[in-house]
Amino acid sequence: MATTPGNDAWIENWLSVDRFSTYLESAGGSRTRALDLYEWNAKLSAAFLHDLSHLEVGLRNACDRQLAAATLPGDLHWTDPATLLTLFPILMRRNKLTGRQHDVNKIPRNNVERARTSAATKPHTPPLPGKTVAEIMFGFWTYLLSDSHEKTIWVPYLHKAFPPGTDRSRLNDSLASLRRFRNRVAHHENILQGSEGERRRIVYLVRLLSPDALEHLQTNSDVAMILTKRP
């Protein structure tokens, strides 16, 4: 690649032409501002990961506390096999695209079973519940608020984790958006657009779970400050 003024040909080699072109377009063609935007985006992403980690830990612990009430006699925790199958029973539905029957609860059961396997420290010994919960991915917790789990999980258990009258649909929409946003951040994609909306979603969800936690988060979050410093 030809050397550009200022000897910055390394940028496309390092970031790729396609990746850097997004920032060039946002910077109106200015290579200096484009690189500044890239650095700003990286700092904003790191700050968001801090806030999202707080939300993820708080959400999963809130869900775990409420799902404890579902634990069947003989099981120690809701992630144990019998209770897990009760919470996520085999439910066959026809796929509209393929026409084939599939178990819509297989994925969440598999997610928990994989977490149990990862959390196990000794052969033939049940994993500690806390380690299992920590191993379950963010996507699992967000899907618990979906329409398909309203009757089996939201109504009997999870609504108690939120203030009375909380709109499950709005919760679900907010978490679905943040799940997609988190994936973009984790894969180092640009978050040049829509970041303020995602910041507000985090605030909304954390406030519902714990106003005290929200106060702590806002004291320690750099997201709002970094958003004001966009190049």
pLDDT at position 42 is 98
Q: Does the residue 23 lie in any domain?
A: no
pLDDT at position 6 is 60
What single-letter amino acid sits at 95?
N
Is 94 within 8 Å of 100 (Cβ atoms)? Answer: yes
pLDDT at position 100 is 82
pLDDT at position 21 is 96
Q: Which residues pair with 171 in a beta bridge?
A: none
Q: What is the mean pLDDT of residues 64-71?
A: 98
Q: Does the residue 92 lie in any domain?
A: yes
Q: Does the residue 222 lie in any domain?
A: yes
Burial zone of 211 (CB within 10 Å; 0-12 exposed, 13-18 middle, 19+ buried): exposed
Is 192 within 8 Å of 26 (Cβ atoms)? Answer: yes
pLDDT, tens only, 141-161: 999 999 989 999 999 999 999
Q: Does the residue 3 lie in any domain?
A: no
pLDDT, tens only, 4-14: 456 888 999 99
What secondary structure letter does DSSP report for 222? -
Q: Does the residue 10 lie in any domain?
A: no
Is 158 within 8 Å of 145 (Cβ atoms)? Answer: yes
3-state secondary structure of 162: coil
How many helices (H) and strands (E) are present in the chain, helices listed first? 11, 2
Residue 54 to residue 129: CA distance in whole angstroms? 20
- Which H or E run contains 228? helix 223-228
pLDDT at position 77 is 97
pLDDT, tens only, 78-126: 999 999 999 999 888 777 777 788 888 999 999 999 999 999 988 888 8
Is 158 within 8 Å of 66 (Cβ atoms)? Answer: yes
Residue 125 sits in which domain range?
47-67+76-228
pLDDT at position 104 is 86
Is 33 within 8 Å of 43 (Cβ atoms)? Answer: no
- Which H or E run contains 214? helix 211-220
Q: Does the residue 15 lie in any domain?
A: no
Q: Does the residue 16 lie in any domain?
A: no
| 55 Cβ contact list (under 8 Å, min separation 6) | 178, 202, 205, 206
| 73 Cβ contact list (under 8 Å, min separation 6) | none
Q: Does the residue 6 lie in any domain?
A: no
Domain count, the chain: 1
